[in-house]
Structures are given as structure tokens and as C-alpha cells.
Chain A
Amino acid sequence: MNGFHGRYWRFDLSRGEGEMVTIPETILRRYLGGVGLGTWLLHREAPANVDPLAPEAPLIFSFSPLVGTPLTTSAKLAVVAKSPLTGFISDGLSSSHFAIAGKRMGVDAIVLVGACAEPSELVLGALQPTRLWRKTPREADEALSKHGRVAAIGIAGENGVRFATISNDGRHAGRGGLGAVLGAKRLKALVVDGELPTPVADPKAVTRLARDLSKRSLGHATAKYRDLGTVANLAAFNRIAALPTRNFQRSRFDQGDALSAETLKPAREVARTSCASCTIGCEHVYGFGDEKRTRIEYESLFALGPLCGIGDPEAVLAAAGRCDALGLDTVSAGGTIAFAMECAERGYLPDAPHFGDAEGLLALLDDIAHRRGLGDLLAEGSRIAAERIGHDSIAFAPQVKGLEIPGYEPRALQTLALGFAVGARGADHNKSGAYEIDFSDRVDRLHGNARSAALSLETENRAALTDSLILCKFLRGVFDDLYAESAELVRAVTGWNVDGEELEALARRVVAARKAFNVREGWTPEDDSLPERFLSEALEDGPSSGARLTHERLQEMIRSYNLARGWSEQGYLPDAVMRDLSLEPSPADPTHAGPQVDP
């Protein structure tokens, strides 16, 4: 088979044994790799209603047909599991040499099940006790990289923080607490390497397409990422009053200038780097403190800065570096702490720091990772914390389905508000690119409607395809027709006679499969919503002043979205859609015959 190995490696940590399991070519063609294949495997491997932190819960590293080719930004993997933060699907993407090395083991995915009896590391198939427990992901990487490429958790993952990350090459599969799943399996690190290249159908065409894509990746469409990085969003969002500030109480931050890319770049930028196999290089590294340096993305900057009322770049960069070292998702960490800060303001949490307290923020990050004091409560995420705090604080816990909301004010970007509400992973700017629609002349960003629903859905489909190919979303602007051009790549790599239409259908299938998993795990229409704050309070600041999003308007958009997807009005999947998913029953199902084992 070209582009694939046609199998996954299933390793049972309880037994210390692995096996190769065949993946039918029909499934690969219907799901490709990354998020698509990972979702299909999650359906297959996760027992229904499994506790995400139980040994039986699988953790899946899913590669893709493009991994290992010279196509720019293709060195990516998806990490897929049932999220301990949301109870629904979590599928984080990460870019690194880990993807290339993992696929060279001769597999399209790695599935970890079971749990180790003691803190361990899995190095090239050998499970052994680890001395790296309590070390940072970087320290784990340094200690193990002589064996191969490393994915590791930090202290937060070891302690079951529900928003802990899995780190590789300094990048993170960040959202939804995948690190806690690995931590519950008592696996500090997974090290992979191999010798098996993946053949491609038409090497000449792949080389030509790779050269062409690299050239286009250096054009205008990606210039923002190269010149300023995602941090450029901060000043733009602040200007239009869409920058979540002080736990979404405001949409403009008066100290925003100090944190903008326009200020940080000339004053602090020390380097620009890139993920493995990427020609764009969007990672901007800034200096702070006593010759320290850290990479920072907009999401970390907003969450640890304006959202917590902190405008000192030194403090925000230090906090971002601390999250990396502890293995914490910066968006959920910032969101949960900002929520605690508002609780402090209202007198519900007297021990929490107040908005603007940078030292308090840094101390609390450590307390969360170690589950000390108030940190133990906040390690559960803002939704569970709100349930325990009471006082109706759930109304302003900044989360959807338990996942903290990224740096886009939903009332100011109402097409994206819909994307957040219906997101299978929760509030998710990576799976719905609907902000692109809000930042256009196609809708009124302050006034979502049924048209927003149709447009939002298209961005979700496109994201499902790029996440299954996998290519970096920052390439999106270089494609005139994502489906047709992706089909050309897939044809050259796999030799399949696919066209754009087939890939569009595949994208819709991936979205439906993610939803189907949630339905299986107990999703109800009430889960597709936004916290009460967003549906009852109007914005006050700048150009977004007066913007409000009502229950009725959101419901109308959700209804339009569901119908446009061909689902029921409430969002359930009809039989025809379910049949198209080619799902196999979970191994926990008594009628399940078990995985088909490669002889």
C-alpha cells in the first residue's frame, strides 16, 4: 500500500505486550489519517462510557499518509482519546519529528491501552520503570532522545490535571487533558523510531507538488505567520474589541499594547523557529527575565495575559514558559485561573488571586500542576470547579462542554460562537475556523444568523480535511480549492483515484464520526451551548459595544447548522449518516469479535 502501512501498533501497558493490528484499506480511504483515522480507532478501541482515566481507555497517536513526504508542514500527528475534561472526544494535533519516527516503525497509528504498575517509559517497544517521573517534558526528552523521538508528560499529567498536555519536540498536543490520560496510565514517555519508509505511488509527482507547495508557502498568504506569528492577533482583536479580558467581562484590554506583536517583536524577539518539515516557521521566540527565552502563541498570550488582567510581558512570558515546563494547556490554565479570579472578585473564593496579580498567577500554575491547595480544585478545570464552588458560578465559567474557551470573544464573533457551541471537542478554534467568516464582508460579525451557520460548517469541514491529511492550517490561504488540490496530493502519495468531491465527503464523515462518538458517550442537545454570561450580558467596549447573543439566536443558528449537516434538528445523526461511518463495535461490546490481528 502506498502512503500507509495498513496497520496500527496496539500496546497493552498492563501486560507489557504489543501487537500489530490490520487497518483495512477501505477504512484508510474513508478516513485518511490524523483526526479522521484517530476518531475511527477511538470508536473501535474505547469501550462505551469508559472512564477517560481508566486503564481500558485508549490513547491514540495517529499519523497520516503525508507524514514522511517532503510536503511542507506534513510532519504532524493527532493524539486522540476520550477527554477527562469534557467526557467527549479530544483530538489534539502536534507537529514534530515524533510523527516521522513513529510512522517509520511501520505503522499508521499507535494505540496505548492498559496501565503500568509503576511509573514507566515505553522505549522502542520495551516497557521499563522510569527515573524521569517529576521531571519536565524537556528533561525527559533530553534523557531519552538518544533512543529516538520522544512524547512525554510533565508533572501536571502525572498528577491527573484534567488539562495536562503531551509534549513532543517542545510542541504540545494541548487541549482536553490528553496528558492526564497518559499520566493515568503511569507512562511518563513514549519513544519511537524505525527504519521503514513508506512508499509513495508517484515519487516524481510528490517531489513536484512538494516543491510547488513550499514555494507557495512563502508567499503573502502566510506572511503574517512568518513576520509576526499568531501573536499578531492580539492587537487586531483588541482594536475591534474581540479580545477576551478579565474572564470575558470585557472585550478590550487597556494594557494590550504592551503585549502586542508590534511591541514584542522589536523589543524582545530573539529567534524564529519552525516545526519539523515546515517552510513557514511561525514560532517566534522572545527573551524575558534573566536571559530566559520562550516561544509564545496568541492563545497562550491572551489566556495568561488579558484574560487574567495581566499586562506585563515579563509575567506573561514567564507563565507561558512555566506551563510548558509543567505540561499544562495554557488556554485551560489561563481560563480556569481567570474564572477563579472572578470568583475572588465576587467573594466566592477568598484564597484566589485577583485580576492583575502576576505573582499569584505563577504560583497558582505550580499549585495546579502539583494539585496543592486551591490548585487541586482548579486542576479539575473551570466547569467542575464551578459545580463545586456553587453560587451559580457556572454562568461565568468560560467553557463549552468543559473545554475552556480560546481567545475569541463569542459575542463579538458570532459565527465562531456557533462553532464553539457545536464543537465536538468543546470551544475549539482549531476545528472551526469560523472566525474567518466573521472577519469578512460575508456576515455581520455582531449579528449571527442562519447564513452564518452554513458558512461556519464549511470551515469545520475544511479543518476536518487538513487535520486528517495532516497539513498545517496556516497553509489554508495558499489553496484556491482545498479539496481539489488536496486530492492531487493524496493521488500522488497513495495512487488512489480520489477527487475533491470524495475528500469533501470524507471531511463531512470525519465531522460526523466525531459527533457520533460524543452521542455514544452521552451527548445531548443541551451540551451544544454557551455559558449563560454570553447569552445574557451585552458587550460594553469599543466597536463591539452593545453586541449581544441571545438564547434564541444561538438556538436558531444551531438548528440551521444541524439541518445543513443533514442531521436532525436537535443534532442527532440519522441512520444513513451512521452507516456511512463504517464504525466497528467497541471491544467492550460483548458481541465484538476483537481486533483483527495481523498474523
Chain B
Amino acid sequence: MHAGIVLCGGRSSRMGRAKAWLPWQGRPMVAHVVERLSEVVDEVVVVSSEQLDLPPLPARVVRDREPELGPLAGIREGLAHVKGELAYVTATDAPFLTPEFVKTMLSYGKAAAPEVDGIVQPLAAVYPRSALACASSLLESDRRRPLALLEAQDYRRVDAAELTGCEDAVRGFNTPEEYLAAVRTSGDDSPVVLELLGRAQLAAGRREIETPVGTLAEVLAAAPPELELVQEGRVARHHLVSIDGRSFLRDLRVPIGPGEHVIVLDASVGG
């Protein structure tokens, strides 16, 4: 029996928004990764932080109690909840992960990690459930690198050249530019919908504007300039901007993915 563990408790600070929610092929990234994993493993555990709500997933969601300790704490949490002897661990931003790659990695029957460009990839790797105690003791001794856990397992290092799809499997994105570049080559050309409510709607005389994917700044630039949605390099104080009505944001650099709705509201909402 094999398991998959998806880590999505990271802070996504360079992205400016949670990577788990970035759209990929018509669904949030974390849903995409869970689906790909589910094709080859018997169970999937998603490790999230207390602060991050996730979309409905066909997986068990557990909370990382100590996200500040980094990904090793997430791996420990995941291992504590899987039933399978071996678990493939992946970061949430793994859009090009293939079931074949996961299957091959699990086929070694032991801890295994690929090496790409001379760098071992511990967040696209297999860990035995029995590594749980070791993960805990490493954390207790303040050794937080996931590589240390692999090294303690006598893991198999897999050369990228041995594996088709290996480089893609470990390819994620840390910045808006990386994500948007990946989207533009993915073949998904669904537009972003800019929804105008309140004063913005009355002033623009319309409710929706379609525009290509881009950063929030690029999306807001699709609105008539007289709305002054942007001031001094940020969302103007008199407006609020929300992605799909869930989270609110002011940082213009964040990426907006295919099919997402950017909603513009009056700032003094409420009261």
C-alpha cells in the first residue's frame, strides 16, 4: 500500500498568495496535484497550516502544528497520518507531476529521491512511514532540512537521466512570473474576469470585463482608467479587490490565473 503526501503549509511569500489556490487546468493547484497522485497511490494526505483553508479535496487534510519549522515538520505530520509503508511526498506546486514518475519512484521500495542538476530533491521524494520517529528526533535536535531525513534512511539517489518526466515532476514555481509563464505554455487560455461592483460598476457602465491572465496590476489595467483602481503602486485606498470573493489583496504583483474572477468593491464596505 502506497501513500501520497502533499505539503501546502509554506508561506508562498514571493508569490504573494497561497500556491495551493493558484488555478491549474481548471482547478486549484492542490486539487490538480491530489488528482494526479490519486491515480497511483491508495491514499493522499494533504498537510496544510492552521491559517490556510483549502478547497474541497478527495484527500485527508491534516494541520501542520508547527509550520514555522519548515517542510520537515510537514513531512512528519504527513507520515504520522498515512497507512501505507511508503509515501511519495510532493510540494503543492507540482503542476507537471505525472503518475508514471510517482509510480517509478515508489517502485524502488525504499526511500528515494531524484537528483536534478546535481541537486537532490527532497520534496519530490519517497519516504518510508518508519521514518516518522527519525523526523521527530531531527526536529527535536533542530535539524530541519528534509535532506537530513533522506540521508538517515539510506535512500536511493535517482539520476534525472534515468527517469522520463523527472525534471518536470520537480518543477514548481516560486514567483508570479514563473507561474504566469507556465500558464501561458499550458494551453489554457481561459480569460480572467474583472467584476465591477458598486461605484465602479456605475462609473464603467458594465459589470464584467474579460482580460488575459497576468499580474493583478495587468488585470486592473483592463478597467477604464477613470476608475483609478491603482494609486501609488497599490490598489487604491477607496477600493477593495478580491480573488473570487475569498481573499482580499492589495499587492499588485500577485498572479491571477485562468478563469479567476477579480472583484472590485468599494473600500468602505460594511457599516
Contacts and interface: CB of A to CB of B under 8 A. Distances in A.
Contact of A435 (B198, B236, B269): B269
Contacts of A545: 56
A497 interface: no
Interface in B223-271: 236-238, 240, 242, 244-251, 263, 265-271
A520 B72 CA distance: 52
Interface in A425-447: 429-430, 433, 435-436, 439-441, 444-447
A441 B249 contact: yes
Contacts of A228: 198-199, 202, 266
A449 B50 contact: yes
A241 B52 CA distance: 19
Contact of A446 (B53, B195, B242, B251): B53
A477 B268 contact: yes
Nearest to B207: A262
A370 interface: no
A541 to B, nearest CB: 10
A222 B195 contact: no
Contacts of B185: none
Nearest to B18: A444
A261 interface: yes
A240 B198 contact: no
A227 B266 CA distance: 11
B197 interface: yes
A543 B245 contact: yes
Nearest to A407: B270
Interface string A222-240: 1111011010110111011
Interface string A206-225: 00000000000000111111
Most chain B CB inside 10 Å of its own CB: which residue of A262, A439, A441: A441
Interface in A236-258: 236-237, 239-241
Contact-residue size bin, chain B (C-beta under 8 Å from the other chain):
20 to 34
A221 B202 contact: no
Main secondary structure of the interface of A (DSSP, over half): helix
Contacts of A236: 197-198, 265-266, 269
A66 to B, nearest CB: 20
Contact-residue size bin, chain A (C-beta under 8 Å from the other chain):
35 or more
A546 interface: yes
A265 interface: yes
A232 B266 contact: yes
Most chain A CB inside 10 Å of its own CB: which residue of B53, B56, B270: B270
Contacts of A227: 199, 202
A239 B263 contact: yes
B230 to A, nearest CB: 13
Most chain A CB inside 10 Å of its own CB: which residue of B197, B238, B247: B197
Nearest to A447: B53
B53 A222 contact: no
A473 interface: yes
A449 B201 contact: no
A489 to B, nearest CB: 21
B266 A474 contact: no
A408 interface: yes
B55 to A, nearest CB: 8
Contact of A441 (B202, B236, B248): B248
A352 B147 CA distance: 66
Contacts of A239: 195, 197, 245, 263, 265
Most chain A CB inside 10 Å of its own CB: which residue of B53, B198, B267: B198
A265 B202 contact: yes
A584 B52 CA distance: 48
Nearest to B198: A232
Contacts of B52: 444, 447
A542 interface: yes
A227 B267 CA distance: 13
Contacts of A447: 50-53
A220 B242 contact: no
Nearest to A474: B271
B199 A224 contact: yes
A405 to B, nearest CB: 14
Contacts of B55: 546
A545 B244 CA distance: 12
Given A543-B244, A543-B245, A435 B201 contact: no
B201 A262 contact: yes
A334 to B, nearest CB: 18
Contact of B271 (A223, A435, A440, A441): A435
A230 B266 CA distance: 11
A529 B263 CA distance: 32
Given A236-B265, A446-B53, A477-B237, 12 more contacts: A222-B268, A224-B266, A224-B268, A232-B199, A235-B197, A236-B197, A236-B198, A239-B197, A433-B270, A441-B248, A447-B51, A449-B50
25 contacts: A221-B267, A221-B268, A228-B199, A230-B271, A232-B197, A232-B269, A236-B198, A236-B265, A239-B197, A239-B245, A239-B263, A262-B198, A262-B201, A408-B270, A433-B270, A439-B240, A440-B248, A441-B247, A441-B251, A445-B247, A445-B248, A446-B53, A447-B53, A476-B268, A546-B56
Interface of A: 220-225, 227-228, 230, 232-233, 235-237, 239-241, 261-262, 265, 408, 429-430, 433, 435-436, 439-441, 444-447, 449, 473-474, 476-477, 542-547
Q: Which are the 10 A-B pairs with shortest beta-carbon distances?
A: A543-B245, A240-B245, A435-B270, A220-B238, A224-B266, A232-B198, A543-B246, A236-B265, A224-B268, A441-B248
